Structure 1
């Protein structure tokens, strides 16, 4: 793994993982990244959850189905990732990094 700034790590994306970034960017207009986790804010058990952010770092509104579908696509594309921690997918590069703890 290669280290990014602030100590986060990512796995170099495969071509199919890079295409997933393009698909999600088309599905979520204005999004530049998605943060995926198994910690839904209103659930007590593991549940796929996505937060999309725009270029200014502002959170975008997503429907419940978009939140779930996007999370499942990312989870299935990186099964080797440690999903006990949230991850951020850069939609432009397809790079998946361990997400920072802060949230908006």
Structure 2
């Protein structure tokens, strides 16, 4: 046991259970992605690229008005992988939207009407 300055042994303190800070981690991810894709407010992530029949990580980005932001291949794949790894419990057979202002991930089915003009 470590000895204090007074020469007495320090009493053992009970270990504190550290809960994973999912909210903090998700917010940090949103901040990093906002930095990676300037001007983006919503990141839509899916496992199916529109031009392929096999699963492939894919991302679309939208600004605050719901207009698409062009992404290069590296941004599309890296962003999708980061989000999928940060939320492994989600069903990635369907697309999800990550709000970069709050860090909240929700299924894209409910958001399509509001962000894509009813598509």
- TM-score bucket of the superposed structures, by smaller chain: 0.7 to 0.9
- Note if 1:73 corresponds to 2:82: yes
The normalised TM-score by structure 1 is: 0.83
Which structure has more RCO (C-alpha within 8 Å, separation ≥ 6)? 1
Query: More strand by proportion, 1 or 2?
Result: 1
Counting matched residue pairs gives: 92
Give the TM-score of the pair, scaled to structure 2. 0.73
Which 4+ residue blocks in structure 1 deviate beyond 3 angstroms? 101-104
The partner residue of 2:104 within 82, 86, 95 is 95
What is the match of residue 56 of structure 1?
Answer: 65
Once superposed, what is the RMSD of the aligned Cα atoms?
Answer: 1.4
Structure 2 CA distance, aligned partners of 1:100 and 1:80? 18
Q: What is the CA deviation profile of residues 45-82 of structure 1, one whole-angstrom value per residue up to 9, with x for unaligned ones?
A: 00000000001100000000100000000000000001
Unaligned residue ranges in structure 1 (runs of 5+): 1-12
Q: Specify the SS of the correspondent of 1:34.
A: strand
> Gaps spanning 5+ residues in structure 2: where?
1-21
The structure having more radius of gyration, on CA atoms, is: 2
